[in-house]
Structures are given as C-alpha cells and as structure tokens.
C-alpha cells in the first residue's frame, strides 16, 4: 500500500462509525482514569494518532467500528470527513498532552483531568451525536480561518441537503 494511500482520511465518514469510535474512547478514557493505568493513555494517544493520520486503516478501534459495528447499525449516515478529522486532531492533542503530562512531567492529576475532558467530549459525540471538534471546525470556517475549499460540503450545505437549494437549482 502506497504511503499516500495509507495517509488518507475518509470523506465522507459514516457518523455511526464515528460515534462508535467515540464510545470506545469513552470506555478507554474511563478505564485509564478509574484504574490509574498510564499505559492506557499511551494506547488512547496511539489510537488517535492512527485515526488522524489514516482514518480507520491503522486503528483497531476504527476498524472495529467501520467494519463490524457500524454495518450492524443499519444504513450509513454520511457526513463530511474534514470536520471529523479535525475532531480527531483535537483528540490527538488532548491524548498526547495526557501522555506527556503523566510521563514527561509526572503531573498525574492534570493528565487524568485532560483525559477526563477528552472523555466528556467523546461522550457527547457517542451519546448525543454532538461533535465538539466539528462545531469548532464550523466556527473556524465561518470566521474565515479554515477556507471553504477545505470542506466544500461544509461551506455549502445544499450539497448534502438538496432541500436547501434554491428552487431554480433543483433540476
């Protein structure tokens, strides 16, 4: 598999798979906090790095979600990939920060607090379909910080929702 092919993120993304991954992040984060097992922080960070770089390709949790669990949940609900990758990037930053705090600074309580914040965001995604990273991505697009060309489907909702197109453009 060519490196360029390997380092791709799916677009669109099945939201059911994304929510399944978020549920896995909640479980892993909660286990790391409850058991105070720092090696679980490393597993959490490695999973985020794998997903942000390759989507589900190198992530065991991503593979399980996309290949096994999401298909059982019925028809896919497709959403743009760019906001989901951005959200994975935020998860990468938080989980990596937790690892660095624990192992680099010996700051165990702050590492667990960062992991707790990550777990809260993942819970919102898993349970309610509220992706905080996607909301931040949208706000950055509206502010002009992320150009519309990064996610045309995000910039023009009528591409995903034909009912939003002007009557003259619906033909």
**Can you point out the beta strands (E) in 52-95?**
78-79
99-113 pLDDT, tens digit per residue, is 999 999 999 999 999
2-41 pLDDT, tens digit per residue, is 666 677 899 999 999 999 999 999 999 999 999 999 999 9
pLDDT tier for residue 131 given thresholds of 50, 70 and 90: very high
pLDDT of 145 reads 96
Kindly report the average pLDDT of the chain as a whole number.
Answer: 92
d(CA 58, CA 131) in angstroms, rounded, equals: 22
Which string of b and e fits 41-77 if b means at least 16 CB within 10 Å?
bbbbbbbbbbbbbbbbbbbebbbbbbeebbeeeeeeb
User: Max CA-CA distance within the chain?
Assistant: 62
In the numeric block, the tokens 């959403």 are attached to: 79
Q: Which residues contact 123 (CB under 8 A, 6 or more apart)?
A: 22, 26
pLDDT of 158 reads 59
pLDDT of 8 reads 87
pLDDT of 154 reads 87
pLDDT tier for residue 153 given thresholds of 50, 70 and 90: confident
Q: What percent of the chain lies above the pLDDT cut of 70?
A: 88
pLDDT of 167 reads 67
Q: At what angle do helices 38-54 and 81-99 cross, to 10 degrees?
A: 150
In the numeric block, the tokens 């720092």 are attached to: 38
Is 80 exceeded by the pLDDT of residue 170? no
For range 50-75, the mean pLDDT? 96
């Amino acid at each position: 598999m060519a490196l360029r092919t390997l380092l791709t993120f799916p677009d669109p993304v099945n939201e059911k798979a994304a929510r399944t991954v978020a549920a896995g992040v909640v479980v892993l984060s909660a286990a790391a906090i409850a058991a105070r097992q720092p090696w679980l922080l490393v597993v959490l960070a490695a999973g985020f790095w794998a997903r942000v770089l390759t989507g589900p390709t190198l992530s065991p949790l991503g593979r399980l979600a996309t290949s096994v669990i999401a298909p059982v949940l019925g028809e896919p609900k497709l959403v743009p990939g760019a906001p989901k990758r951005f959200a994975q990037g935020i998860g990468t930053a938080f989980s990596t920060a937790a690892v660095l705090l624990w192992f680099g600074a010996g700051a165990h309580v702050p590492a667990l607090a960062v992991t707790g914040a990550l777990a809260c965001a993942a819970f919102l995604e898993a349970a309610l379909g509220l992706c905080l990273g996607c909301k931040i991505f949208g706000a950055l697009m509206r502010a002009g910080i992320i150009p519309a060309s990064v996610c045309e489907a995000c910039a023009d909702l009528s591409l995903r929702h034909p009912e939003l197109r002007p009557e003259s453009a619906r033909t």
